[in-house]
């Protein structure tokens, strides 16, 4: 896995930091790669802007900050507007169709939408919206291996919610595959 730079953005309470943590853990522990994560969020716990930035590589990471984003996961319009200009012209934009209405793509950006919030609501808990996106992004952008992503999800959520989160992951993964 060569160096990949991923930005995840949304609102506090959407699991943005957890999403970054899951991808980083999948890469570093279950895919035998390296990862770094930085995060930023507003002073409010929920509802404020939030972002997670990941660098994944098969070599030791000597510079842990994003230069040009390869993959942008946008779960809010505000985050999309702020971070889309950092996305490479041949990058991948993954967005929640119910939360983000992207502009016309520039360059060769691959734009992939999923109704993640709706899928999560169908599962009974909107709180797993981020895990639906983890599954979708795993399939669509091959950020990490599918088995590594599943293991990272299982080991990163409370034991009582493992089944629900794995269902959310599979729904997102299958949404892209179908």
Q: Given this model, what pLDDT does residue 7 score?
A: 98
Q: Given this model, what pLDDT does residue 48 score?
A: 72
Mean pLDDT, residues 2-22? 94
The crossing angle, in degrees rounded to 10, of helices 129-141 and 146-154 is: 160
Angstrom distances, CA of residue 44 to CA of 56, 128, 139, 150: 29, 21, 33, 30
Residue 107: Cβ-neighbour burial (10 angstroms; 0-12, 13-18, 19+):
exposed
Instruction: Report the topology of domain 4-177.
Output: Pyruvate-ferredoxin Oxidoreductase; domain 3 (3.40.920)
Alpha-carbon gap, residue 140 to 173, rounded angstroms = 8
Contact 39, 52 (CB under 8 A): yes
Q: Which of 71, 171, 163 is nearest to 130 (CA)?
A: 171
Q: Given this model, what pLDDT does residue 44 score?
A: 52
Mean pLDDT, residues 54-59? 96
Mean pLDDT, residues 82-101? 96
Kindly report, residue by residue over 14-51, the tens digit of the pLDDT.
999 999 999 999 999 999 999 999 998 765 556 677 99
Q: What are phi and psi of 109, to 5 degrees?
A: -65, 130
Could you tell me which residue, 124 or 46, shows the higher pLDDT? 124
Check pLDDT > 70 for residue 152: yes
Q: Given this model, what pLDDT does residue 177 score?
A: 93
Angstrom distances, CA of residue 171 to CA of 111, 115, 164, 166: 19, 11, 11, 9
Alpha-carbon gap, residue 133 to 176, rounded angstroms = 10
How does residue 2 score in pLDDT terms, banded at 50, 70 and 90? Answer: confident
How does residue 157 score in pLDDT terms, banded at 50, 70 and 90? Answer: very high
DSSP letter string over 12-63? TTS-HHHHHHHHHHIIIIISS-EEEEEEEE-SSSSSSEEEEEEEEESS--S-
């Amino acid at each position: 896995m060569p160096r990949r730079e991923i930005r995840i953005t949304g609102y506090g309470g959407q699991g943005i930091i957890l999403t970054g943590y899951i991808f980083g853990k999948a890469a570093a522990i279950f895919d035998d790669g390296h990862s770094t994560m930085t995060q930023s969020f507003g002073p409010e716990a929920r509802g404020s802007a939030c972002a997670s930035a990941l660098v994944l590589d098969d070599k030791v990471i000597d510079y842990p900050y994003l230069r040009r984003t390869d993959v942008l996961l946008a779960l809010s319009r505000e985050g999309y507007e702020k971070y889309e200009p950092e996305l490479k012209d041949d990058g991948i934009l993954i967005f929640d169709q119910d939360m983000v209405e992207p502009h016309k793509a520039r360059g060769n950006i691959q734009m992939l939408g999923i109704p993640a919030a709706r899928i999560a609501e169908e599962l009974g808990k909107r709180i797993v919206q981020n895990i639906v996106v983890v599954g979708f992004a795993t399939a669509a952008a091959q950020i990490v291996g599918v088995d590594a992503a599943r293991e990272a999800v299982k080991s990163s959520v409370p034991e009582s919610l493992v089944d629900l989160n794995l269902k959310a992951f599979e729904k997102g993964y299958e949404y892209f595959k179908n």
